[in-house]
Amino acid sequence: MRTHFDEQLNTLNQEIIKMGALCEEVISLAVSALIRKDDELAAKIAPLDHMIDEKERQIESICLRLLLQQQPVAKDLRQISAALKMVTDMERIGDQAEDIAEILPFLNDRTLPEHIKIREMAKEVIKMVTDSVDAYVKQDTSIAEAVIASDDIVDDFFVEIKNSLISLIAQNPTEGEYALDLLMAAKYFERIGDHATNIAGWVLFYVTGEKNA
């Protein structure tokens, strides 16, 4: 019985890894579409978001079967509970990437320093998502804690981009609409970082029993 249960837990881990990979891909597409002003790349985001939604439903189904058909002990129960919480944040990552794609048509065809900062911000965010899932699979609290610490880096990027765009508006008020659209894109990346932080927090709960170890 326990062997079968462990096999199902392994299946759960594998599906979470797959969902994490989809999240990484959709963030990468979002930033590439934004930087390149590429509508074809942007068009690929919505189908990926739908795949993320479907993966969330699959993982929820696995978790419910584990809860109903087995009698998980304390740590197993924490693992299943953490997985259910994690996939909610991962699903929202897909939504935020799609929100970024929807901003694209409103941005003019130009390259400003803020775009470079957004690219650096997105790179950090992708690493946070990757590492948060890795922390779950490896049950590694040090990786989870590093993800949580990285949220400050993402927040600093956002503040830097925001201040730069405020200066842009002050120098040229006609750029206001463009600056606000770009700021919203940066805000969505910041929110993705928050979701990765939440995932890392649930990893801590799974391993230690406390969400903020």
Joined together, the tokens standing for residue 79 give 């693992």
Query: Which carries the bigger pLDDT value, residue 1 or residue 57?
Result: 57
CB under 8 Å to 180, separation ≥6 — which residues?
Answer: 165
Coil, strand or helix: which one is 140?
coil
Neighbour count for residue 51 (Cβ, 10 Å): 16
> Band of the pLDDT at 64, cuts 50, 70, 90?
very high
Residue 213: pLDDT over 50: no
The answer to whether 107 and 182 have CB atoms below 8 angstroms apart is yes
pLDDT at position 112: 60
Average model confidence (pLDDT) across the chain: 90
Q: Kindly state the average pLDDT of the residues 164-192.
A: 91
* pLDDT tens, residue by residue, 9-31: 999 999 999 999 999 999 999 98
pLDDT > 80? residue 114: no
Cα-Cα end-to-end distance for the chain: 32
- What are the residue ranges spanned by the domains of the chain? 2-208
Give pLDDT tens digits for 193-204: 999 999 999 999
Q: For the residues 77-99, what does the mean pLDDT come to? A: 95
Work out the pLDDT band at 212, boundaries 50, 70, 90: low
Q: What is the mean pLDDT of residues 24-50?
A: 91
Distance CA 204, CA 208 (A): 6
Report the pLDDT value the prediction gives residue 207, as an integer from 0 to 100: 94
Second-level CATH architecture of 2-208: Up-down Bundle (1.20)
**What confidence category does residue 38 fall into, taking pLDDT thresholds of 50, 70 and 90?**
confident
The model's pTM: 0.91
Asked if residue 134 lies in contact with residue 140, where contact means CB atoms within 8 angstroms, the answer is: yes
Cα–Cα distance for residue pair 30/92, rounded to 1 Å: 14
User: Where would I find the H helices in 104-140?
Assistant: 113-138
